[in-house]
Structure 1
Amino acid sequence: MPKISALIITLNEAKNIGHVIENLSFADEIIVVDSFSEDETVSIAKTYPKVKVFQHHFEDFTRQRNFALSKANHDWILFLDADERLTEPLKKEILNTLKLRETADAYFFHRKFMFKNKPLYFSGWQTDKNIRLFKKSKSRYTEERLVHEVLKVDGNLSTFKNKLTHYSYSSFDSYSKKMACYAHLKAKELHGKGIKPNAFHFVIKPFYKFLHNYIIRLGILDGKKGLIICYLNALSVYKRYPLLKKMSEK
């Protein structure tokens, strides 16, 4: 059985960190890279003997994840966000897969998005998936993306059958703050590409984002939960462009 390094990046995740560490207890090492949290995230993480904690100044998600990768001692990486959880069937699928003589070099996980403690079935999340298990020797997060980072894999890809549970939405304020953070990083990314905002970006893009997720991607079927999520995701698209405008004027 190959050894697994489980990685987590954190900022003020005191409510989640203990749960995700316990969820990853089967890993051979657990590495937490913290962006100087102001709550009890670090002190909680340090109470677990298998956990190594590093604090590293946050610039963007890509650099933070690559820094975490540099601290891993094993080739197989299992990278979770603090608000993600492996179900028991998914844990078994991971371990049974790694026992095989031949494996892929990286694995996509489909994610089940939770609105508080209730699942969202639509709203654009029904096909959501990310690579969460991969070989360090074959993979690297690409530098051109600062948010919604992309893992470049030099090898074969596969997808697990069981879903990862994503507890992303706990309250309106917390999700809104997360979307604001994403908007800032996206604006920085667009500024680096020389993009100048115009009326299309301020009006059409956020409006289309809302309609696409709420109507075409059936967010309307998620009821009030779908309306809130589709609104906040569209608002995040809008918020990047005033920030981009300020960057462009400097």
Structure 2
Amino acid sequence: MNTQFSFIILTYNEEIHLPRWLASVAGLNAATYILDSGSTDGTLKIAADANATVLHNKFENHPKQWDFALKNFDVKTPWVICLDADQVVTPELFTLLQNFKNEACQNINGIYFNRKNFFKGRWIKYGGYYPFYLLKMIRFGVGFSDTSENMDHRLVVPGNTMIWKDGHLLEENLKENKISFWIAKHNTYSDLLATEETERMLNLRLQTVTPRFWGSPDERTAWLKRKWWKLPRYVRPMLYFIYRVIFKLGILDGRTGLIFHFMQAFWFRLVVDIKIDELLKQQNTDGK
């Protein structure tokens, strides 16, 4: 059994994805912990066949689900890799993990993986989506889930981190090939994000990660979010869409890519802004 790291995976009806992920890490011989939120398909049988340790927790949002997983699994290794079921480890990343030694990273508490995101079978290479670094490998007991976020599931570690630019996570949610699934999913996400941003406006939430433009990938994201919150609602979705398509060359992603950038950068953000106004109006009504 791998003594360096273990995997934690979140699942909900992932029978289409879980075998693909398991195949990509086969040979690493690492313990697998799966936190399921009520799957009704073959997910749990696949997990059992893979000898994974399974816990169940009702889903509220991703940050809280990761918080539960990190606090309730009895992980025995010094490191844990936290992945989504729709992600796949490439052979190059597999090799990096195969050669990983804790002794060589004594002053490191987290490792960023480079992600390739796919939409309807197409790699979204432009629009600011590549390279895209995610903190996915953390020192267990040191790293934690940022529950100040409502939608973005962000892991946080104190101290030093490093970035693996070679090797990738391939992220492709095959269920999103049906646009109705994508819309329903992001409609739910828009509720979470609108609530979060409204609470930040009312000083009910604070950022966990220190905003720094020249900091780690997550610190830069925190800096950009702070700028985003100050932009005028209804204007910022269009600005963001133009930025991604023109300035970050999203137009080169072709028709499928343009659909993705429009839906993710403009449509989704516009819906969030509308819901923020609804929440603020409700707040004012309740306060009278």
CA contact (8 A) 1:138 1:155 kept: no
TM-score, structure 1 as length reference: 0.89
Equivalent residue of 2:171, what SS? strand
Q: Report deviation, 1:27.
A: 4.4
Q: Structure 2: how far apart are the matches of 1:231 and 1:167?
A: 18
Q: Is the 8 A contact 1:123 1:229 kept in 2?
A: no
Structure 1 137/109 Cα, relative in aligned 2: closer, same or farther at 3 Å? same
CA contact (8 A) 2:79 2:139 kept: yes
2:278 is aligned to 246
The answer to whether residue 7 in structure 2 is matched with residue 11 in structure 1 is no
Residue 214 (structure 1) aligns with: 245
What residue ranges of structure 1 are gaps of 5+ in the alignment? none
Distance in 1 separating the partners of 2:23 and 2:40: 22
C-alpha change, 1:28 and 1:220, in structure 2 (3 Å) is: same
TM-score w.r.t. length of structure 2: 0.78
Report what 2:168 is aligned to. Answer: 163
For residues 150-191 of structure 1, give each alpha carbon's deviation from its aligned partner in whole angstroms, at most 9, with x where no partner exists.
Answer: 322112111112221111453423333332232121112113
Instruction: Provide the C-alpha distance between the structure 2 equivalents of 1:158 and 1:6, rounded to a whole number of angstroms.
Output: 19
Mapping of 1:1-250 within 5 angstroms?
2-25=3-26, 26-49=28-51, 51-70=52-71, 71-73=73-75, 74-98=77-101, 100-103=103-106, 104-160=108-164, 161-168=166-173, 170-194=177-201, 200-201=232-233, 203-233=234-264, 234-248=266-280, 249=282
| Residues 90-117 of structure 1: CA deviation (Å, up to 9, x unaligned) | 1111221326533522111111122333
In structure 2, the CA distance between the partners of 1:131 and 1:107, relative to structure 1 (3 Å rule), is same
Give 3-state SS (helix, strand or coil) of 2:45's partner: helix
Offset of residue 10 of structure 1:
1.6
Where has structure 1 moved over 4 Å in runs of 4 or more?
A: none
- Note the C-alpha offset of 1:72: 4.1
Residues 190-211 of structure 1 show CA distances to partners (whole Å, capped at 9, x for unaligned) of 132235x9x931x212111211
CA contact (8 A) 2:4 2:100 kept: no
- CA-based RMSD of the aligned residues comes to 2.4
Contact 1:105 1:153 in 2 (8 A): yes
Secondary structure of the residue aligned to 1:46 is helix
Distance 1:99 1:191, change over 3 A: closer
Unaligned runs of 5+ in 2: 203-228, 284-288
**Do the aligned partners of 1:5 and 1:30 also contact (CA within 8 Å) in 2?**
yes
